[in-house]
Amino acid sequence: MNNQNTSAVALIVGAGPAGLTAATELQRNTTIHPIVVEESDAIGGISRTVRYHGNRMDIGGHRFFSRSERVNRWWLSFLPMQGAPALDDRLLSRSKPLSPAGPDPDLTDEVMLTRDRISRIFYLRAFFDYPISLKYSTFAGMGL
Ligand SMILES: Cc1cc2nc3c(=O)[nH]c(=O)nc-3n(C[C@H](O)[C@H](O)[C@H](O)COP(=O)(O)OP(=O)(O)OC[C@H]3O[C@@H](n4cnc5c(N)ncnc54)[C@H](O)[C@@H]3O)c2cc1C
Q: Which domain holds residue 68?
A: 63-113
- On whether both 76 and 56 belong to a single domain, the answer is no
When divided into structural domains, the chain yields a total of 3
- On whether both 107 and 137 belong to a single domain, the answer is no
Q: Verify whether ligand 1 is closer than 6 Å to residue 16 (CB atom).
A: yes
pLDDT tens string, the chain, 144 residues long: the values are 555 555 799 999 999 999 999 999 999 999 999 999 999 999 999 999 898 999 988 888 778 888 999 999 999 999 999 999 999 999 999 999 999 999 999 999 899 999 887 888 898 888 888 878 888 888 888 777
The terminus-to-terminus CA distance of the chain in angstroms comes to: 45
As a whole number of angstroms, the distance between CA 116 and CA 125 comes to 25
Q: Verify whether ligand 1 is closer than 6 Å to residue 64 (CB atom).
A: yes
- Could you tell me the distance, in angstroms and rounded to a whole number, from the CA of residue 21 to the centre of ligand 1? 12
- On whether both 100 and 137 belong to a single domain, the answer is no
Q: Verify whether ligand 1 is closer than 6 Å to residue 85 (CB atom).
A: no
- Could you tell me the distance, in angstroms and rounded to a whole number, from the CA of residue 61 to the centre of ligand 1? 8
- Which ranges constitute the DSSP H helices of the chain? 17-29, 69-76, 87-91, 136-142
